[in-house]
Amino acid sequence: MFFKQWMHNFANPGIKWGGSYVLRRMNQEHIPLFNFASQFFEIPVNGTVLDVGCGGGHHLSMLRKKCHSALIYGIDISELSVKASIAYNKEAVNMGLAKIVQGDVCELPFSDNWFDLVTASETVYFWPDVQKGFEEIYRVLKPGGIVAIYCDSCDPVAEKRHTDLIPGMHVYTSEELQSCAQQSKFLNIKINLSEDGKICLTAQKEGSFRKIPFFYMGNPYNTLAALWARTLEARQPVPILEDQNALDVVSNINYDFSYFADLGIDQVGLAVRDYLIDRMLKNFLEKNQDVTIINLAPGLDTRLHRIPENTYKKWIDIDVPLNLDLRRAFFSQADKLEVIAKSITDFSWIDNISKANEPKVIIAQDLFAYIELDTIKTFLTKLAHKFASIDVIFDLPSAEEMKENHSMTLPPAVVKKKPNARPSKKIEITESAQRPRILWTLQNVFEVQKWCKAIRVVEERNLFDYDKKRWGWRGFIARLPSNRARMSHNVVQIRLKRELLIDEKDRKVRKSGIETDI
Ligand X SMILES: C[S@@+](CC[C@H](N)C(=O)[O-])C[C@H]1O[C@@H](n2cnc3c(N)ncnc32)[C@H](O)[C@@H]1O
- Find the binder of ligand X among 69, 81, 204, 223 (CB under 6 A): 81
84 or 454: CB nearest ligand X: 84
15 or 212: CB nearest ligand X: 15
Sign of CA dihedral 170, 127, 82, 264: positive
State the angle between helix axes of 58-66 and 19-29 in degrees (0 to 180), rounded to the nearest 10.
Answer: 30
Site string for ligand X, 113-142 (x = CB under 6 A): --------xxx--xxx--------------
54 binds ligand X (CB under 6 A): yes
DSSP for 480-511, please give it.
SHHHHHHH--EEEEEEEEGGGGS-HHHHHHHH
13 or 475: CB nearest ligand X: 13
105 binds ligand X (CB under 6 A): yes
- Find the binder of ligand X among 6, 7, 8, 30 (CB under 6 A): 30
102 or 378: CB nearest ligand X: 102
487 binds ligand X (CB under 6 A): no
Instruction: Assign 45 to helix, strand or coil.
Output: coil
- For residues 256 and 258, give the distance between their C-alpha atoms in angstroms, rounded to a whole number: 6
Instruction: Assign 446 to helix, strand or coil.
Output: helix
- Find the binder of ligand X among 47, 53, 145, 475 (CB under 6 A): 53
Binding region for ligand X (CB under 6 A) out of 47-55, 222-230, 282-290, 369-377: 47-55
**Total residues at the site for ligand X (CB under 6 A)?**
26
- For residues 173 and 185, give the distance between their C-alpha atoms in angstroms, rounded to a whole number: 19
104 binds ligand X (CB under 6 A): yes
46 binds ligand X (CB under 6 A): no
Residue count of the chain? 518
Residues sharing a CB contact under 8 Å with residue 267, sequence separation 6 or more, in sequence order: 95, 96, 229, 232, 233
Would strands 115-121 and 141-151 be described as parallel, antiparallel, or unpaired? Answer: parallel
Distances (CA, A) of 452 to 377, 414, 456, 457: 8, 40, 9, 12
151 binds ligand X (CB under 6 A): no
Q: How far is the CB of 120 from ligand X (least distance, A)?
A: 7
Q: How far is the CB of 247 from ligand X (least distance, A)?
A: 22
80 or 344: CB nearest ligand X: 80
55 binds ligand X (CB under 6 A): yes
- For residues 93 and 96, give the distance between their C-alpha atoms in angstroms, rounded to a whole number: 5
471 binds ligand X (CB under 6 A): no
74 binds ligand X (CB under 6 A): no
13 or 397: CB nearest ligand X: 13
Which DSSP symbol is given to 435? Answer: P
Which DSSP symbol is given to 16? Answer: S
Which residue sits closest to ligand X, CB atoms considered?
55
Q: Which residues bind ligand X (CB under 6 A)?
A: 10-13, 26, 30, 52-56, 59, 75-78, 81, 104-106, 121-123, 126-128
